[in-house]
Every structure is written in C-alpha cells, then in structure tokens.
Chain A
C-alpha cells in the first residue's frame, strides 16, 4: 500500500505564533492592536477551546491585590520556589498583572466586584471570576482582527532554521493533506508545557483524566531542543495536589472554604513537614501515605448546603468531572471528605520554572525566536495572567525588533529533507510496535526510573542512567512507527516530542546534586537542600545528539538580562 501523499503549502508572514493558547492569543492581539504587522497563529486544535483553558479556569491566581505590590509578589514567588527564580522575569510580569486583568475584563470576562467597583479578593494574589468561557473570549478577540490569520488544526513539528536563525516553522494540517512551510520574520513559541511524560494517575481507560492538558505534549520545548535552544530548570518539575481520580483542583476547596488536610485518623498533618508552601502540602501527603497514615483528605464534611452548591457550580465551571463524581453517587463534599493525591510530574513553565531560557524581552537563545507562557522558563506562578503578561512583553519587543528584520527563506534541499522526514512515517512499512505501546513504555520508564508516582517522586543517578538508555532506545523505535492517517501522524510526533523532553529532563534531574524542592526534585543521592553550592540555574543545550549542561548564576530583580554566549 502506498502512503498518504502530502502537498506543500508555503505561507509568509511578519510574525508566526506557534500555539493559539492563552499566551499566544494575547501576544497576537497585542501586536495587532499596535501595528499593521501580519500575524499567523498555527494551532494544532481550534483556538476557541484549545490548550489549558479548554474547560475553563477557577480564578485569576496572579493579581496584585490590595496591600500587595509587584515587589511583594516577587518575594512570594521566590520564597515558594526556594530561591531559584529569574527575579527579573517575575518582576516584569508582576508589573503587568493588573493591566492584563483589566484588559480581560474589557474583552468580556466576568470578574466579581464589590459595591465600590473593586475586584473582590479571593486571596492576597487572587481574584474571583467566572472562568468557564475565558478561552472563547480570548480566541474571539484574536480571530476578529484583520491582520491575524488563524490556521487551526495545523500541528507544528519543527522550526525552519538557517545559519542559526529561526526563519519560521514546518507543520502539517490535520484536515487537508498538506504540509505547511511558514516563513516569518519573527517566530514566537507559545505551545504550552508537557504532560504525559510519566505514567499518569489513571493509567487505563481514563489515562487522559489528568491535570495538565494531555494535548500539550511538550512540542514547544522539543522543537527548541532539536534546534539547539538553551533550556532552563526542567528539574523543577510540577506535581499537583489534586482530588483523587478526577484530578480536579484542590485550591477551590482549600482556599474557598478554608479547609484543612487531614489523614485517615483525622489528624491535620501538613505543618509537621515544614512551612506549608505549595510543594510541602504535596510532600506531606505523599509522606503520610508512605507511613501508612493515608488516605488523606480535604476536610469538608459538615459544610453547609449552600457552600456545597457553590462548590458544585465552581467545579462545573472548570473541572466538571468532580461534580459528576459527587452527584453520580448522590453525595457531595458536605457529606464526605474529599480524598486527595499527588499527580504525575509535568514540565510547566507557568507553574514552576522549566522551559526556554529567555532574556528580558522573552527572546530565546535562537535568533528571531521568542518564548512565552508555559513554554518559557525561569518564572514560576505565572498562571493565566502571567502568561498574558508575557504575551504582551514579547509582542512589544517584537514591535521594536522587527523594524530591521526581513523574511529569510531556506534553501530547497534542506526543506526537502525535512519534508521527507515528516512523510516517512506515512511511508514506513508496518512497525513491530503500535504507537501507544511506545507511549506506555516511555511513561513506565519515567515512572520507575526518573521519579514518578511509583517511587514517591524520588530518583537516584543509578536509576536515571537506566532511564536515559531506555529513552534513547525508544527514540530509535519511534522512528519506525507507521501512520496510516494524519491523526496517527500527530500521535507519533506527540511521542517523539515527549521523548526529547524526557531526554533533557533526565539530564537536568541528574545535574542538580541536592534536593531543592520536595517531590518536584527529590534526589535520593543528595537528600538535602545545599544553598552553598546550588543557588544557581541548571540549563542545557542539545548538541550533536547530547544534552550539554550549563550552570548559570542567579539573575537579580533589576537586571536587564541579555544573552551573551
């Protein structure tokens, strides 16, 4: 049988944005509102509901509330992240959080206000919203603009690079049998973080009932890794504390009705494990289970019917499975405590610090390439508004930088090679291994040897050595996979991209010879935090098939960091 044949379509634009999610849509919108530049958004799904915001979100979790300042926000992020953040990046975001929030409200987001017209605080740095339709609101604002072209259902597989400059990207359409080669003066990576690296909480039928979007498969990182971009802090993984099985957020309950975490014996257990930061609440739960004190719960029994109804509604607005789980059994949080568990690890630059190493303007180390949102590293706790702020920062930088830029095209022979690589999966003879088998093998390796749920997130260098070898073997097998249609071609790239992310992640985990963050980075060979030697960033560059580690000194709040080799 001959394989599917793909035609090549060439697109030229001023700015290409890869991923029409939170950050990508807002970046496009900012460029459009401030210039006549042509913007193309290439999105693997449909921007109306793609990415993290698909189901809706609970609250705006990064906002400078009354009594807080951008400076106190940076202090908080630094404290919660054990010191290893790019203060310059966090500070630049903090200064824009409230501006982008107002813009969201102008676009149509419902934000709760008091009678004086002020936003009602949910916490010091958080405000209350109806976040169910946040993505359609953002997407519509972008799609309406004359100078923004949205290419929905186009999956990007690699950058086009010439002489060390990113000159666009290559992708394929899931709708027509088409390969897109998109040339741009400036390219922005906004393709989100990476889920599905590790064996998930629900590994069988409900394997995608996970916290992070299972459709954000680290493509943004992988295309950068393959092109030689510098990455930072992958070892600061993100692991969420979530409601058991549905993996719905716990903060809604914990902050909303101010409840506590209790073990099976009804004891509050968190504080004996340290200051209750985000990762300590998780670590405490993991430890209680290991000691045999589990299961652990959020104590909700006895809340009022009204509180319970508010929780039903809040979850319908962002994680409907949780409300279904309660009502399907004719019960609710007022009747029984809510069991909690830690998720599998993710790489998410909007929650922790893994991602592209960027300068003050969100330029990556590859010329003409920017990174924003969950794809960009160094600044934890961006959440929705921080991602918008980064979209805005990159847009404003591009407006300056693009003045002297021009479209560069690549020579045809190199393009032909890339197209051949992409088409090969359609032409491969049947592989010994089905696509999902490689995915499951990768998740098993990472789970067992690189600090997954199975080992309570801990790893050792001996285990990482095995993981590294196995991931390399799987990369070779992945090359033999066969796609019979475009959806299968997508599935193959989603695996290859995750394998590259795993490869880099393993080296980062190994390189940090201390334990800086409980659970996120639990190095059993070096179980203590070591401030004397490890107040620095672990970065990496993929070169000639190897991941080279680079250590970099901490960057301060007022620095204007520029890349110098």
Chain B
C-alpha cells in the first residue's frame, strides 16, 4: 500500500508534503516531491486529493494482492473524479459529487 509521485508531472507546489498525516513526503533540491517512506503509507489519499497536477498515483503492495493496477484523482470543488487502471490496463472512471451521500 503506497503512493508513487511522477517527477515529471510534479510542479513543486509542496502541498502533498504539507498535508500527509504521517509526514512521509519530502522535497528534493528542485522542490519536487519525493515519497520518502513508502512502507509507512496509510493509504488515506490525502496527498492525491491535494495535488493540483495529478502527479500522485496510489497502488496496493504485492503483499496485499496488488498486481500493478493504480488509482489517481481529478479534484474539483464540487466533485472528485476517481480514475482506476486495472492490472490488465482496463480503465474505470467513477465520479462522486460532494453533495451525494453514501447509500450504505
């Protein structure tokens, strides 16, 4: 369970570092975000939701059944787009409005 940061997409805003509840993300000399403690990630997705550049990917470790699929988010004021790419490359998109309650 962890996240990966795409260095090329990262615009060095520092928001993911500022938000992580575990203080796990640091920045390098160029101000780019670096996931410093991959095995200490709780998987809360706070950093994904904070990132303005869609540079953070979320994946499951192989120890909990991860097979290379991943998830990232598109963040908007009224809704969140969740993009999931499965291990075989199938793409899913689920849009959730912030005004829509859980049914269960």
The 0/1 profile, CB within 8 Å of A marked 1, for residues 33-63 of chain B is 0001011111111100010000000111111
Quick check: is A54 within 8 A (CB to CB) of the other chain? yes
B-side interface size class: 35 or more
CB pairs A–B below 8 angstroms (11 shown)? A49-B21, A55-B46, A59-B102, A112-B102, A130-B102, A174-B23, A206-B64, A207-B40, A208-B22, A321-B43, A329-B86
Number of interface residues of A (CB under 8 A): 62
B69 is contacted by which of A153, A214, A324 (Cβ under 8 Å)? A324
Quick check: is A540 within 8 A (CB to CB) of the other chain? no
Quick check: is B13 within 8 A (CB to CB) of the other chain? no
Instruction: Knowing A110-B99, A321-B1, A328-B87, say if A206 contacts B94 (CB, 8 Å).
Output: no
Are B102 and A213 neighbours in the complex by a CB distance under 8 Å? Answer: no
Are A314 and B103 neighbours in the complex by a CB distance under 8 Å? Answer: yes
Instruction: Knowing A252-B104, A253-B104, say if A45 contacts B67 (CB, 8 Å).
Output: no
Q: How far is the CB of B102 from chain A (nearest CB, A)?
A: 4
Are A327 and B92 neighbours in the complex by a CB distance under 8 Å? Answer: yes
Instruction: Knowing A253-B104, A320-B45, say if A130 contacts B80 (CB, 8 Å).
Output: no
Quick check: is A187 within 8 A (CB to CB) of the other chain? no
CB contacts (< 8 Å) of A327 on chain B: these are: 69, 84, 86, 92
CB contacts (< 8 Å) of B101 on chain A: these are: 110-112, 120, 128-130
Q: How far is the CB of B74 from chain A (nearest CB, A)?
A: 13
Quick check: is A73 within 8 A (CB to CB) of the other chain? no
The 0/1 profile, CB within 8 Å of B marked 1, for residues 108-151 of chain A is 00111000000010100000111111000000000000000000
Instruction: Knowing A59-B102, A130-B102, A312-B94, say if A204 contacts B21 (CB, 8 Å).
Output: no
Task: Give the CA-CA distance A442 to B23 in the complex, in Å.
Answer: 22
A133 is contacted by which of B2, B22, B84, B98 (Cβ under 8 Å)? B98
Are A208 and B99 neighbours in the complex by a CB distance under 8 Å? Answer: no
Task: Give the CA-CA distance A205 to B59 in the complex, in Å.
Answer: 12
Task: Give the CA-CA distance A132 to B98 in the complex, in Å.
Answer: 8
The 0/1 profile, CB within 8 Å of A marked 1, for residues 1-25 of chain B is 1100000000000000011111100
Most buried by B among A48, A54, A128, A321: A321
B23 is contacted by which of A54, A58, A246, A487 (Cβ under 8 Å)? A487
Are A208 and B41 neighbours in the complex by a CB distance under 8 Å? Answer: yes
Q: How far is the CB of B33 from chain A (nearest CB, A)?
A: 15
Are A256 and B104 neighbours in the complex by a CB distance under 8 Å? Answer: yes
Are A208 and B40 neighbours in the complex by a CB distance under 8 Å? Answer: yes
CB contacts (< 8 Å) of A355 on chain B: these are: none
Are A320 and B82 neighbours in the complex by a CB distance under 8 Å? Answer: yes
Instruction: Knowing A215-B42, A329-B86, say if A317 contacts B102 (CB, 8 Å).
Output: yes
Please name the 6 residue pairs, one residue from A and one from B, whose CB atoms are nearest each other, closest first.
A256-B104, A328-B69, A112-B101, A54-B44, A245-B64, A49-B46
CB contacts (< 8 Å) of B97 on chain A: these are: 130
CB contacts (< 8 Å) of A120 on chain B: these are: 101
Instruction: Knowing A215-B42, A330-B88, say if A48 contacts B19 (CB, 8 Å).
Output: yes
Task: Give the CA-CA distance A58 to B103 in the complex, in Å.
Answer: 10
Task: Give the CA-CA distance A310 to B98 in the complex, in Å.
Answer: 14
Q: How far is the CB of B90 from chain A (nearest CB, A)?
A: 6
CB contacts (< 8 Å) of A328 on chain B: these are: 60, 65-70, 84, 86-87
Are A55 and B84 neighbours in the complex by a CB distance under 8 Å? Answer: no
Are B96 and A45 neighbours in the complex by a CB distance under 8 Å? Answer: no
CB contacts (< 8 Å) of B2 on chain A: these are: 205-206
The 0/1 profile, CB within 8 Å of B marked 1, for residues 237-261 of chain A is 0000000011000001101110000
Quick check: is B100 within 8 A (CB to CB) of the other chain? yes
